[in-house]
Amino acid sequence: MHMESSWTPALPKEGIPPYAIFAKEIQKSPNDGRSYRTIELANGLRATLVHDVSADNAAASLDVAVGHLSDPDDMPGLAHFTEHLLFLFLTKHNGYSNAYTSSSNTNYYFSVSSTALQGALSRFAAFFHCPLFTPSCTTRELNAVNSEYKMNLQSDNKRVFQLAKHLSRQGHAWRKFDIGNTETLLKAAREKVGQDIQEDLEDGGPVVQEARRRLIEWWATEYSASRMRLCVIGKESLEELSDLVSKLFSPISGERNAPILTINESPLGASELGTLVRVQTIQKYQCIEITFPLEYQAKQWEYKPGYFLSHFIGHEGPGSLYSYLKDNGLATSLTSGSSSWGREMGNFDITIYLTEDGLRRYQEVLLATFKYISLLKSSFPFDGYHQRELSILSEVNFRFAEKGAEASYAQWIATQSQSEWIPVDQLLTGAYLMKEWNSSDCVGARKVAEYLDVLSPRNCRIILTARKDFHQSLPNMPEEGEWEKEPWYGTVFHVERIDEEFLKKAEGINDIPDLRLPGPNDFVPSVLDVHKIPVKEPSKRPFLIRQTPMSVVWHKKDDQFWVPRAGVFVSIRAPDANTSPKASVMKDLWVYLVGDALNEYSYDAGLAGLYYTFGGTATGIYISVFGYNDKLPVLLNRILDCIKSLKFKPERMSVMKEQAKRGWENFHFSNPYSISDYYTSWFMTKPEWTPDEKLAVVDGIILDDIQLFARTLLSSVQLRILINGNIEASDAAQIADQTEAYFGLTEAPASKIDLTTMLLKQATNAVYPMLNRNPDEVNSALSYYVYFGPTVDQRLRVVGFTLAQILSEPAYSTLRTKEQLGYVVFCSSWTVNGSTEGMRICVQSERHPVFLEERVDAFLEGMQAHIESLDEENFKEQKAGLQKRWTQKDKNLSEESTRFIGQMHSGHWDFLRGWNDATLLDEITKHEVLELFLRAVHPASPTRSKLSVHLTSQRCKENLTIPEENTIVEDPEAFKSALQPVSTSGLCIEWGDLSPSHGKIW
C-alpha cells in the first residue's frame, strides 16, 4: 500500500481491511456535481469511487492490465476465453453487463439499479477472487468463443485486422491470434493427453480438464490485484463506497507489484516498412490504410501532439487533403489519428476510402497524401491559432461535459486509471485538456516536428483493400499463384516492396497548389451563457408553441442540464418521398448530394461541437442540428439554403451513385441475423423498397431527375419541428418562422404521408425461406416474430413489454448458454413503425433454421410452466426492472432530445409514455401476462399470428424440411399484399388535439 505523502491511510474500522486514500482532490469540471475519491487496497488494487446522489443506476467496471498479448504461445485466445468464463449477466434490477478483451487490457463492467449495488458488486468481486471455472462452463464457453470466431469469418474488419497482425515482424507478440477458437484453445491440451484433435468435447473429459487447468494456472498468475483498476459509481457516500470496495475486493490475491507487460519494439520492422499489401475483401469497398510507427501517445497526454497532427491530416475543410481527393473523385472519406497496438507500442494511421476511380489511381491518392505531409513540414512552425483553438475547445468541452450512462463512465474511468503517466488527481482532465503551447519550442511543438519526420513514405506500411475483381483491373497485378492466405480467416493477400521511383516522388516537396492549411474556425463558440431559470421540478415534456396546417412546433427550454447547447430537429414529411423504388433512390441520392455539398462548410462546426444530420426517412427527409447554441442558427440556415438551392456539381453525381450502390450490393454480405431481421420488418412495412429494387433503378437516374424530384417533394410538405435546450421560446418561434419561410406556404394532407403497417392475420403460421447469397457464410439465421396488437392499446403494450422482459433472460440462457445454438441469441419486444407491438426471437447459428425454429418452439412451450411458477416476489422484480428503465431520468440534453424525437417521428406525441406505463404496470397481473402468452406466443395457440424468416447458409450441412403446419411464403409480394393494412396515422394520437388550451399533458 502507498505510504507516500499523497496517500493517507484510512482510519481503521472493524471488519474493513486497511486501505489508503489519495489525499489530493481529483480535478473535475465546475459543472460536475459528483464527488470522487481514489483508494488503494493492501493487495495493490486501485479503485476510484464516484458518489452521485442523482444517479438512477449504479455501475462498476474492473480493468485488468492483461490482454491477448499475454496469451501463452501455445494457447492463442486464452485471455479472451478467460473473459468469457468470468462474464456476468444481469437482467433483474434494470441490470446489464458486458466485457471485452483488447491487446493489453481486459475490461468487465455492469450497471444495476442504484438500490441493488451492494449485492451485484459482491457477486462481481467474487468472479475475481473465487471464480468457479466449472468443467461444464469451460466446455460451454469454448463453444461460445468458437461461435464468435465463426461469426467473424466474413467480417472484413476482423479479417484485415488479423492480417495486419499476421504480417508483423517475426516473433513479435502482436502476431498473436486474439480471439481464439476450439483448435487453438485445445491443441496443447490434446497433445498433452494424447487425444485425437477431432474428438468431440465432453464435460469433464481429459482434454477439457487440461485446458481448464491451464486456464486456472494462467488466471492465477495474470489476474493479480495490483494489475487491476476499479471504478464504482453509486448513491452511497464516498466513505461507504470505500469501505464496501475494501471489504469485497481485498480478498483478490496476486503479486503486490506484479510487472505489467510492456513491449517497446514496434511490430513493423525493416522488412515490413516500405511495403504495399494488397488484400482481397468479401464486401465491395476500396480502401488505403497507411500505418507509421509512432511514439506511444499516453506519455504525451498534456500536449497531445499526435492529435494535433491528425487535426490537419484528417481535416475536411477547404484546402484539405480530403477536399482535394473528393473534388477529384478519388475518395469518399478520410480519417487519421494516433492509436496503439498495445502498451508502449504507438502508431499513426491514415485511412482513405476510395471510389472505384480512386482505386485505379491509388498511387495518385498516396502521392497527394505525402504531398500534404510535405506541406505540413514546410509550414512548421504553424500559426498560433491552430493549436490555440484546439486548446480552447478542449477546455470548453471539459467544462460542459454532460453525464452519460453510468456503466460507460465507470468503464472509461477504470481504463484511464491504468495509465502510469497521468497523475491520479488529473485522472478526469488528462484525456480532455490540451495545454496551450506558449512557443514553437515547447514540448508539444517539438514533438510535432519530430513526428513529421517520422511520417515518411519509407517508414510506413500501406494496405490496399478491394474485392478480387477490382484488384484484377489494376496494372502490375500478381499472378494467381503469387497470392497467399492468412491462416485464421483465409484472407487472400500479396506483399510487395514499394517501387523506388514512387518513393522518390512521394518524398518531394508539395507541388499541388490546391492543398493548404485550414484557416481560423469561425464556429468556435464565443457566447457560452446559460439562461438558467430555477424550477421546482424539471418538465418531462416539451410544449406545443405553434400549430398551423403546415407545421407543428414543440419547444422545451432546458431546465436541468444547464449547458450552452441546444438542438433543432425538423422532420420534413411529403407524400412523394417514398412512392416507388425510384423515388426512394432519388431521395437517397439527394441526401448524399446535400451532405457532400455541405461537407467543407460544416466540418469546422463539427470540430467546434456543433453537429448536423441530414437524412432520409420513410416519409420524407430529416434535419437535426445539435451542439453549442451560439452559432446554431447560422449552420441551420446554411443547411436550408443548400436543400432549397439544389445546386450540385454534376461530377459528384456518379460518386454518390457508386456510394449508394455499394451499400445495397453489400447488404447480402451483412451478418445473417441482420438480413433475416430486415426481411421480417419488410413484411410489416409499406412502402418499403428492398436493396434489390433500388439497384434495379439507380443506374437510370440522372441529376435532372433528382432536381425535379426535390422541387416536387418540397412543394407539398408538412413540418414537425422540435427545439430543445438553451433557447428561449421567443427565439424558438423565430427559428421555426425562418425554417417555414424556406418552404413557402405549402400543406400536405397527413393521410397521404403516413406509413402503412401490415398486420398479420389471426392464426398466421408462416415461414419465409431464403438462401444466403454469400457462398462463404457458415452461419444461418432465424428471425421469429409474433404479433400482439396496436401500440396505442396501453394495457396491451405494457403487458407485452412485461412478457418480453420475463422471457428474455431464459431465452438467452436456454438457447445460447445451455443448447449452444450460436453466439447471437436474443429475445425482445418489437415495436413496428411505432404502431404495432410484438416480440421477436433471433438466433444466428451454424444449425439449419428449421432446427432453430423447433428449438424456439420447444423453449416457448416450456415457458408456460415458467410463467405459471413465478412467485409474487419474482414477478414484482421483473416489473420493477421495467419501471426503473421507463422512469429513469435523462442523463443529458442529447438523451432527452432523443426521447422527444422518437415521439415526434411516430406522431404519437406521447412524451410521458414511460411514466404513464410505469404507473399502469403496478396494476398488471401475472394472469394477464400468461393470458397474452397463451393467446399470442405459445406455439399451440389457435389465435397466434407468427411469421419467421429462415435465412439458410449455402454451407449448411443439414437438409431439413419446413413442417407441414407452417404456411411457406413462396411469393413474398403476394403474401405481403394479403396482410391487413393499417395507416400509422390511424394508430396514433392526433397532434391537433394537443394544443395547450386543452390543458392536456401527454
Task: Express the helix, strand and coil content of the chain in percent, nearest 5 each.
Answer: 45, 20, 35
The distance between the two most distant Cα atoms of the chain, rounded to a whole number of Å, is: 82
DSSP string, 504-523: HHHTSPP--TT-------TT
Give the Cα separation of 155 and 834 in Å (integer): 32
> d(Cα 768, Cα 689) in Å, to the nearest integer?
17
- Buried b or exposed e, range 456-489, using 16+ CB within 10 angstroms: bbeebbbbbbbbeebbeeeeeeeeeeebeebebb
Three cell numbers, residue 594: 446535400
- The C-alpha angle with vertex 973 and arms to 967 and 976, in degrees rounded to 5, equals 65
Q: What span, in angstroms and rounded, lies between the C-alpha atoms of 884 and 91?
A: 12
Pairing of strands 756-759, 685-686: antiparallel
Q: Can you name the residues that pair with 345 across neighbouring β-strands?
A: 342
Element (H, E) at 756: strand 756-759
Task: Label residue 971 exposed, middle or buried (CB < 10 Å: 0-12, 13-18, 19+).
Answer: exposed
632 neighbors 723 (Cβ within 8 angstroms): no
Q: Which residues contact 330 (CB under 8 A, 6 or more apart)?
A: 354, 355, 357, 358, 361, 364, 365, 368
| Contact (CB, 8 A) for 708 and 605 | no
Q: How far apart are CA 303 and CA 394, in angstroms?
A: 11
Choose the catalytic residue: 40, 83, 740, 837.
83
Query: In this structure, are residues 414 and 229 in contact, taking their beta carbons and an 8 Å threshold?
Result: yes
Is 436 considered catalytic here? no
Q: Which residues contact 841 (CB under 8 A, 6 or more apart)?
A: 782, 783, 784, 811, 815, 826, 827, 856
What's the N-to-C CA distance of the chain in angstroms? 56
Contact 235, 53 (CB under 8 A): yes
Amino acid occupying residue 148: E
Residue 201: half-sphere exposure toward Cβ, Cα within 13 Å? 23
Residue 950 C-alpha from the chain's centroid: 27
Is the CB of residue 344 less than 8 Å from the CB of residue 296?
Answer: yes
Residue 69 and residue 342 in contact, taking contact as beta carbons nearer than 8 Å: yes
How many angstroms separate the CA atoms of 399 and 384, rounded? Answer: 23
CA distances from 790 to 4, 660, 755, 815 (A): 65, 34, 15, 29
What is the C-alpha to C-alpha distance for residues 740 and 639, in angstroms, rounded to an integer? 13
The C-alpha cell that represents 448 in the structure block: 510535432
Strands 685-686 and 543-547: unpaired
Please give the positions annotated as active site: 83
